[in-house]
A and B are shown apart, each in its own frame.
Chain A
Amino acid sequence: DTGVSQDPRHKITKRGQNVTFRCDPISEHNRLYWYRQTLGQGPEFLTYFQNEAQLEKSRLLSDRFSAERPKGSFSTLEIQRTEQGDSAMYLCASSLASRGGYGYTFGSGTRLTVV
């Protein structure tokens, strides 16, 4: 297992287009998290899954954002009708719920630029 992987690493899109990012967590991890980080800020929580169930969703996540984890393995984050304010680093992390004391393992992120 090579850790948490995210694809793509970088995405440039025009305002109004839809984008989708993918995250592959560590295989035995049952929890998967999405965070967003903008310049000068720490990562902000967006949503998380335990297995395939989406258990919590931040108020930051507008209706244009949707996340899925259909088989409890990889996850996708889709942003519809992108806006310039969506430009950020989107981080995915995974953990094993029963071993919360070990924190999260992060991917390298997807950097989105909306022009």
Chain B
Amino acid sequence: ILNVEQSPQSLHVQEGDSTNFTCSFPSSNFYALHWYRWETAKSPEALFVMTLNGDEKKKGRISATLNTKEGYSYLYIKGSQPEDSATYLCAPRNAGNMLTFGGGTRLMVKP
């Protein structure tokens, strides 16, 4: 069982603030790192899939970076909006195509 840690567990920010979260994972047997966004009462939505050390991905105001050598990924949100409120999950994928999820970071953006 992989040990995948996300920090912080929860975060309250004001609308317009920029924020970032961390996902750390074992660097051995690594194939890819997935980020999901999970809004209440909805299904988790795929944000990014990253595979290479140094990968950077961007989707609107959200971006992510990957360091496979040291086993961490950062997710950044620029100018947070209330609609960004959700739980953000990271999950490394192994050779068997299995995802192991971290505990998530719960973001709440106040208007």
- List, in ascending order, chain A residues with CB within 8 A of B41's CB: 108
User: Interface-forming stretch among B13-21, B54-62, B76-84, B97-105?
Assistant: B97-105
Whether B97 contacts A43 by the Cβ 8 Å rule is no
In this assembly, does B28 line the interface, its C-beta being within 8 Å of a C-beta of chain A? Answer: no
Q: Which residues of A contact B97 (CB under 8 A)?
A: 31, 95, 97, 100
CA distance A96 to B48 in the complex (A): 17
B98 to A45, Cβ gap below 8 A? Answer: yes
Determine whether the beta carbon of A108 is less than 8 Å from that of B93: no
Cβ B43 vs Cβ A108 within 8 A: yes
B9 at interface (Cβ–Cβ under 8 A)?
yes
Count of A-B residue pairs with CB < 8 Å? 59
Interface contact B43-A40, CB-CB below 8 Å: no
Please tell me the number of chain B residues within 8 Å of chain A, measured between CB atoms. 27
Q: With A42-B4, A42-B103, A101-B51 in contact, do A106 and B93 touch (Cβ < 8 Å)?
A: no
Q: Are A103 and B46 in contact (CB under 8 A)?
A: yes
8 further A-B pairs in the complex, CB-CB below 8 A; given A42-B4, A103-B49: A40-B103, A43-B44, A56-B98, A91-B44, A101-B32, A101-B49, A103-B99, A105-B46
Chain B positions within 8 Å of A, measured between CB atoms, are: 4, 6, 9, 31-32, 34, 36, 41-46, 49, 51, 89, 91, 93, 96-104
Residues of A participating in the B interface, judged by any CB pair closer than 8 Å:
3-4, 31, 35, 40-45, 48, 56, 91, 95, 97, 100-109
